[in-house]
């Protein structure tokens, strides 16, 4: 029937990796659609036109909280950070009773990469905070890189690439990213990304063009240890305000190039500043016997909208 609909699904929108609305990285969380095709979910993600849209389905394992399908405007992802944080907070807030304004809980979310353990903390009058264990440890992908071509794609000089021990490298903790260290904050802020040049210079991994995660030491916020920007023509994302999956991969680069000693290393990474949507991603790396023993990513999120899909 023209103009009719067959199903109504609720959705919410959260700003993630921030405690301020109209900041951070917006995320659409759609509840239901378990029997939808991948193509239909991809079409809805394109309609939402946010960095990611997540569909919350019934978990395969009854001991787990939910199963997530994560989509960018361009394709599905096996794992992503800001959908994990935002959905964990959304589910906890939805299930919180009026008699428990303060709540700490731990549960598992199923993603294509595997089960992801999440811990959520809610306090009355404050933005929720969620933290998750990396489902996979970051691993390097050894590739020959066209450094001049990559510098050209960023609108930078070849001499702008790298600082201290950091050089361009490819890492993955579920989704591969090309880590592009740049020698100072001014260069990161002034770069001009050219998607066409990037597509010619950047390598393909697992049949997909790698995304650019550009970073430098320190940041605008006094507590930030790294400042970052992310560009992904393959995902349909011109620039992303916050990319938890890239930070998961970056944990490997940080440990490799900085030779972190044994112990816990809290690292705050800022992103999205140039977009007017500053985001703050909390990374904790636990090093044991000179290797990454465990790593966690966390951040805050605030709900900004809710509604219904008529499909």
Secondary structure element (H or E) that encloses residue 133, with its range:
strand 128-133
Whether the CB-CB separation of 88 and 131 falls below 8 Å is answered with: no
Distances in Å between the alpha carbon of 289 and those of 165, 253, 267, 284, 309? 21, 17, 20, 17, 50
* Axis crossing angle, helix 244-258 with helix 81-95, rounded to the nearest 10: 130
Answer yes or no: 52 catalytic. yes
Q: Please pick, among 52, 110, 111, 131, the residue that the annotation labels catalytic.
A: 52
For 9, the enclosing helix (H) or strand (E) is strand 8-16
Contact 66, 110 (CB under 8 A): yes
Alpha helix locations (H) across 77-166?
81-95, 147-153
The length of the chain, given as a count of residues: 311
Question: Taking Cα atoms as reference points, which of 272, 256, 274, 266 lies closest to residue 298?
Answer: 266
Residues 6 or more apart whose Cβ sits within 8 Å of residue 251: 134, 138, 173, 283, 285, 292, 295
Query: Using CA atoms, how far apart are residues 203 and 83, in angstroms rounded to an integer?
Result: 26
The whole-angstrom separation of Cα 46 and Cα 40 is: 10
3-state secondary structure of 23: coil
What are the E-state strand segments in 190-240?
A: 204-205, 208-209, 211-217, 226-232, 237-240
Catalytic residues: 52
């Amino acid at each position: 029937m023209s103009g009719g609909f067959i199903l109504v699904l609720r959705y919410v929108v959260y700003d993630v990796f921030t405690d301020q609305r109209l900041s951070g990285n917006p995320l659409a969380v759609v509840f239901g659609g378990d029997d939808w095709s991948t193509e239909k979910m991809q079409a809805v993600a394109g309609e939402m036109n946010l960095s990611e849209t997540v569909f919350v389905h019934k978990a395969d394992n009854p001991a787990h909280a939910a199963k997530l399908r994560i989509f960018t405007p361009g394709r599905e992802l096996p794992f992503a950070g800001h959908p994990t944080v935002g959905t964990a907070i959304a589910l906890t807030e939805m299930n919180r009773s009026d008699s428990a304004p303060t709540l700490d809980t731990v549960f598992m979310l199923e993603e294509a990469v595997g089960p992801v353990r999440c811990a959520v903390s809610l306090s009355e009058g404050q933005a929720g905070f969620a933290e998750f264990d990396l489902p996979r440890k970051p691993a390097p992908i050894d590739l020959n890189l066209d450094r001049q071509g990559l510098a050209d794609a960023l609108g930078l000089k070849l001499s702008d690439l790298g600082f201290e021990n950091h050089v361009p490298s490819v890492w993955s903790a579920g989704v591969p990213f090309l880590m592009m260290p740049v020698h100072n904050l001014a260069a990161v802020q002034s770069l001009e990304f050219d998607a066409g040049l990037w597509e010619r210079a950047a390598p393909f991994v697992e049949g997909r063009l790698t995304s650019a995660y550009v970073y430098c030491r320190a940041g605008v916020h006094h507590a930030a240890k790294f400042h970052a920007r992310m560009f992904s023509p393959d995902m349909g994302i011109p620039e992303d305000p916050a990319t938890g999956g890239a930070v998961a991969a970056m944990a490997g680069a940080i440990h490799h190039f900085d030779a972190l000693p044994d112990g816990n290393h809290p690292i705050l990474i800022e992103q999205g500043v140039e977009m007017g949507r500053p985001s703050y991603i909390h990374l904790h790396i636990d090093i044991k016997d000179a290797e990454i023993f465990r790593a966690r990513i966390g951040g805050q999120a605030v709900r900004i909208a809710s509604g219904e899909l008529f499909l």
